[in-house]
Structure 1
Amino acid sequence: MNHSSQGRIPFGRPAIVGNEMEYIAQAIRNGTIAGGGPFMRRCEEWLENALAARRVLMTHSCTAALEMAAMLADVGPGDEVIMPSFTFSATATAFVLRGATPVFVDIDPATLNIDPALIEPAITERSKVVVPVHYAGLGCDMDPILDTARRKSLIVVEDAAQAHLSSYRGKPLGTLGDLGCLSFHETKNVISGEGGALIINNEALIERAEIIREKGTDRSRFFRGQVDKYTWQDIGSSYCPGEIVSAFLMAQLECADGICKRRREIYDMYRDLLAPLSMSGDIEIPSATGTDVNGHIFWILLESETVRSDLIQHLNRNDINAVFHYVPLHSAPAGRKYGRASGALSVTDDISSRLLRLPLYYKLSDREVHRVIDVIARFFGPKNR
């Protein structure tokens, strides 16, 4: 039976949730649509309050925030940056651009996050930064990571691209390390098309971060009246988001709690309804519940890459789009060229070949979730065994 009459269920779908159009019109009427305007500052204040963060600087992408973090960490040729291989290329490219070498370590099969026990064996006299990536909005085990970083004098940059409004032991992700990076790309929970933020938790880095974001000038101090003219002070780039993007994001931030609440509900529905297939051994599902994550991604693990491929085709035939995720960075052409692996990374290789992400977006209905589950269940029915 084909479900085409019910419409296709995409993997994701961006949504207008509040005052987006009104705020965009307001930004245009304000007479400034470049970066650094009132909507950008409102977004920063909202995030500082919501996350209890010392300073938040909006950026035009999470990649830009990571690039700023690499500059603030002063990494350069010969320096090493420890990170998981199971992540997006931007985690690595931000540091490679400064001449540093990514050192890839394996993940914990239970969380799909960097394995804290494998960080210390990867440390050399060249190690300067560790980058925990909070996969699918689930926090890394930060206490041992922060302990290792303190003992070994490493800077901690949290890649919290997927983790806006998730927390670890009551603290928002992105606020535990020296620096944290958020994404508001249209694939995330709270969106602005493209967009990001740098969370600065180490006070000593705030002033330099403002200079780096403003093309290496002290323009921020000039606008605050702290200097009578602004000049070139340091390296930097053009990292501010424009006002139209910030206006859209501000409307989304106002609805952020509701967006994440709905996504957590969908995440928990998937967990509950897929439990029988998990207990029968057909699939593995996350152990985390919606109270532990922000409902960004719901993944399942299949028995093999072949089964995954067959299930993707089966879902497609039934008008449902489910997708796999990263090609591990250590096995990618640029990963082999610019980075190196610490250890075997066998968990990363195994997980990446079997993982499948199911449709999950704010306006996905309960009925559509049931339809996805029904199609998956029929794949594992007697005729498919």
Structure 2
Amino acid sequence: MTGQEFHYIEQAKLGNVLAGDGPFTKKCHRWIEESTGSVKALLTHSCTAALEMTALLLDIQPGDEVIMPSYTFVSTANAFVLRGAVPVFVDIREDTLNLDERLIEAAISPRTRAIVPVHYAGVACEMDTIMDIARRHGLKVVEDAAQGVMASYKGQALGSIGDLGAFSFHETKNVICGEGGALLVNNADLALRAEIIREKGTDRSRFFRGEVDKYTWQEVGSSFLPGELTAAFLWAQLQEAQSITDLRLASWQHYHELLAPLEQKGILRRPIVPDECQHNAHMYYVLLNPEIDRQHVLSTLKQNAVDAVFHYVPLHSSPAGLRYGRAHGPLTITNQQSERLIRLPMWVGLTEQQQNKIVDLLLNATTN
């Protein structure tokens, strides 16, 4: 909490605008557009909703294929499965745990419509290569930048590089409003349709701008707007986004320094951030030596009041993933890294003393 959230919520209440697209929503739109360079930003009630909008915008049809990593949250796949598409799961890189750009081209088929890179832990995928592949094959790129607010690739904000991007402001993210997200439209040809789809398939936004004398049903859409109270809360967070990021980066760096001796001993591997990526310290994770019992480590930490957790169960091995998607190749790295990963506690206000204790406990749990 930044301290201004409830003040802005009170202002929204006094202004008698509680539904979507009020003054605070507009402030958030402008901030995202100016900070990312996107053609248009539209708040949504979740990142899941933003991803579902991308599938509608790209007119994804039953049987179409969409390339994505298996090591991601279910929303990445669900958004396209809802339109009848088939997620094609491609392995991840060993260093960043991002979609391995070297494997994408071999996974393309005549039915492929889009590539969905997921910027894991706020560290960018190799977007130059991905965008080049997409251009050569006539595909669209949807960036799942749920974890990528305030992160960039070669100076360009995550979410603003592909044709479309999606942010999350869920309470587990860096900048939050409880539940919430945003669609970033970077292809100007899709901007007007994005407004229509978000407004239940109507041109209501054009009506309020005075561009049409009445609004009507134009195409398939749904209600993807958050309420104004949510936007008011988010506005307080966005105003402090840089300071939030700076504080998280300081905690991330302290972990990184503390854990260097454990990496040198071969106990674990620390995160790798390529030089061209400016991350946002969304999470700090470690990859345990394969011979170490991860569940023992997690249980030991929990017994000492440290809430360390693992992350995704790969989608290709899940019941729904087996039913709706298909794996391209053995996904060896995905399987290996997902079984080794532990996320350490990370939040604004985490003290160095707490981090010191966490690392000491981690060392004891991995060596005893």
Q: TM-score range by the shorter chain?
A: over 0.9
Query: Is the Cα–Cα contact under 8 Å of residues 292 and 366 in structure 2 kept in the other structure?
Result: no
Aligned partner of 2:307 in structure 1 is 321
1:79 corresponds to:
64
Residue of structure 1 aligned with 2:75, choices 90, 112, 120:
90
Residue matched to 1:279? 264
* Structure 1 residues 321 and 183: alpha-carbon distance in aligned structure 2, compared to 1, 3 A threshold: same
Q: 1:144 aligns with which of 121, 126, 129?
A: 129
* Partner SS for 2:339: helix
User: Which residue of 54, 61, 73 corresponds with 1:69?
Assistant: 54
- Check if 1:338 corresponds to 2:324: yes
Where do 1:53-68 residues align within 5 Å?
A: 53-68=38-53
- Listed as ranges, the gaps of 5+ residues in structure 2 are none
Aligned residue number for residue 168 of structure 1: 153
Cα distance per residue 1:91-141 (max 9 Å; x no partner): 000000011110000000101000001100000000000000000000000
Indicate yes or no: 2:364 matched with 1:378: yes
Q: CA deviation at 1:378?
A: 2.2
Offset, 1:306: 5.7
State the Cα distance separating 1:303 from its structure 2 match. 2.0
Mapped partners of 1:289, 1:227: distance in 2: 48
- The code of the aligned residue for 1:321 comes to D
Q: What is the CA deviation profile of residues 318-337 of structure 1, one whole-angstrom value per residue up to 9, with x for unaligned ones?
A: 11000000010000000000
Alignment pair present for 1:297 and 2:283: yes
Q: Look up the match of 2:249.
A: 264
Shift of 1:305: 7.8
Runs of 5+ consecutive residues of structure 1 not aligned to the other structure: 1-15
TM-score (norm 1): 0.94
Instruction: Say whether 1:29 aligns with 2:29.
Output: no
Shift of 1:379: 2.3
Quote the Cα distance in structure 2 between the aligned partners of 1:27 and 1:113. Answer: 39
Aligned partner (choices 104, 116, 119) of residue 134 of structure 1: 119
Corresponding residue to 1:209 among 173, 185, 194 = 194
Hey, what's the Cα distance between the residues in 2 that align with 1:155 and 1:287? 28
Deviations 1:50-109 (A, max 9, x none): 112211011000000000000011111110000000000000000000111100000001
For normalisation by structure 2, the TM-score amounts to: 0.98
Deviation >6 Å, runs of 4+: none
Matched with 1:350 is: 336
**Cα-to-partner distance string for 1:172-218 (whole Å, 9 max, x where unaligned):** 00010000000000000000000000000000000000000000000
Aligned length: 367
Q: Distance in 1 between matches of 2:183 and 2:157?
A: 14
Is the 1:134–1:159 Cα contact (8 Å) retained in structure 2?
yes
Q: Structure 1 vs Structure 2: percent identity of aligned residues?
A: 54
Paired residue secondary structure (2:61): coil
